[in-house]
Structure 1
Amino acid sequence: MITAIIIDDEIHARSELIQLLRETEQIEILGEAANAIEGFKQLHQHKPDVVFLDIQMPQISGIELLSMLDPETIPRIVFITAYEQYAIQAFENNAFDYLLKPVEEKRLHKTIERLRRDITRKQDVSSIIPKSLEQIPCVGLNRIVIIPVNEIELAYSDISGVHVQTHQRQATTQLTLKHLEEKTPLLRCHRQYLIHPKSIQEIKLLDNGLAEIITQSRHIVPVSRRHLKNLKESLGF
């Protein structure tokens, strides 16, 4: 059976779709979410085969949510929208499928049939995913908070996960350092550290080709020999 999560901020539309999917007896619903922040957590928790994703949602849109997901493990995407122009754009840009609200039972069955045939085929949604992240979802104390990228001084990984540090707080994210490096202005300065160039107050050169960064908030960030040259070039030194 195909596993799925529904992410839609309209409770009635979400409930109606869940009922239609259950009646098909071909979709196992693992979870539902009223916004992209809750949806992000559900996706990491359940790892479904497919996500039925509303495009227009407050704070973080469905398209923005896709940019926060690992492209190697992203599930199949079926967009849901009340606006036909979004559906046409999604279809033309190689999204797997789309459903217009209110969802018609006949149209839904066509989507499920396509899923049954192609569920193991990797879906390419790169053309519609934003090239950069403006916000980072972080977890802690049974909640998810959104931190603007421009507030982040550094990011690092340790045995407990990947963490971002702002002037005022530290938070843990389910995004990888590689994902952050590719999608944000953060620069690699060490195998386990990224630094925001605007947060750098001072770079101290140490013995053996090593260095360390002092941030605006006085955090100390190591710089490895391997990354020092590239870091200096990125900063125009």
Structure 2
Amino acid sequence: MLKAIIIDDELYAREELNELLVENKNVEVIAECSNAIEGLKAINSLKPDVVFLDIQMPQVTGLELLSMLDPETMPIVVFVTAYDQYAVKAFEDNALDYLLKPVDTARLNKTIKRVQLSLEKEAALPDYTPVATQQLELIPCTGFQRVLLLEPSEIEIATSEQTGVHLLTSEDKLTASLSLKVLEEKTVLIRCHRQYLINPSCIREIKFLDNGSAEIITKSNHSAPVSRRYLKLIKDRFGLA
């Protein structure tokens, strides 16, 4: 049985699609989300087979959410929209299919069969090489009953801790909704340690330590460790011997 997540800011649309999917008998809806940030968290934690994703949502659209997903673990995405002009863009962004609102039962059943066939083909492949994905223009950060959209250039350090992925700017410490891996692949940030990313343009000083590692100091006086594994990459980046 397919595990599905519905992401739509309209309650009625979510409930209607849920009912249609339950009637199909081949799909289990494991979560319903009212916005893209909730949806991103649910996708990363629940690992669905398929996501039924609304395109037009406030703050972060469905198209923007799709660009935030890790291409190596991305579920199948089916866009659900009231506007058919988004169809071409949906396929350009690697969605498997799109459904027009109000969703037609017969059309939905065809989509579900396409999802099942796609998963069967993927399971038969010996390996998977993700396609190149576009860079993120904005990073969603959560906390204090708000969502802040941060430009990657504002981030000096990103670090993974037990409480989540935290972003240090010149003025603030924010909690990101994305993994370090996605930030590394889709922003200007580069790896300096297993748990740290650094913005090269924000580096003020590199301190070389006796144990073969180093420490980076940013323009705002934040610090990040540089492990021996990544020190050569950092040196090569700046042409250091």
TM-score grouping bracket, smaller chain normalisation:
0.7 to 0.9
In structure 1, the residue matched to 2:59 is: 59
Task: Give the TM-score of the pair, scaled to structure 2.
Answer: 0.81
2:192 to 189, 193, 198: 189
Contact 1:95–1:125 (CA<8 Å) still a contact in 2? no
Q: SS where residue 15 of structure 1 aligns?
A: helix
In structure 2, the residue matched to 1:168 is: 171
Amino acid at match of 1:48: P
In structure 2, the residue matched to 1:5 is: 5
Change (3 A) 1:62 1:92: closer
- The Cα shift of 1:77 comes to 0.9
In structure 2, the residue matched to 1:105 is: 105
Within-5 A mapping of 1:1-237 = 1-91=1-91, 94-122=94-122, 130-138=133-141, 146-158=149-161, 161-173=164-176, 175-207=178-210, 209-235=212-238
Q: RMSD over aligned Cα, in angstroms?
A: 3.0
Q: Tell me the distance in 2 between the aligned counterparts of 1:201 and 1:4.
A: 46
Q: SS where residue 168 of structure 1 aligns?
A: coil
- The Cα shift of 1:211 comes to 3.0
Deviates further, 59-68 or 136-145: 136-145
Q: Tell me the distance in 2 between the aligned counterparts of 1:206 and 1:92.
A: 47
Q: Tell me the distance in 1 between the aligned counterparts of 2:187 and 2:225.
A: 20
Count of aligned positions: 236
Change (3 A) 1:215 1:115: same
Task: Give the TM-score of the pair, scaled to structure 1.
Answer: 0.82
Q: Which sections of structure 1, spanning at least 5 residues, go unmatched?
A: none
Contact 1:164–1:170 (CA<8 Å) still a contact in 2? yes
| C-alpha distance after superposition, 1:173-209 (max 9, x if no partner) | 4533332211111122233321112322222344455
Contact 2:72–2:130 (CA<8 Å) still a contact in 1? no
Q: SS where residue 119 of structure 1 aligns?
A: helix
Contact 2:40–2:177 (CA<8 Å) still a contact in 1? no
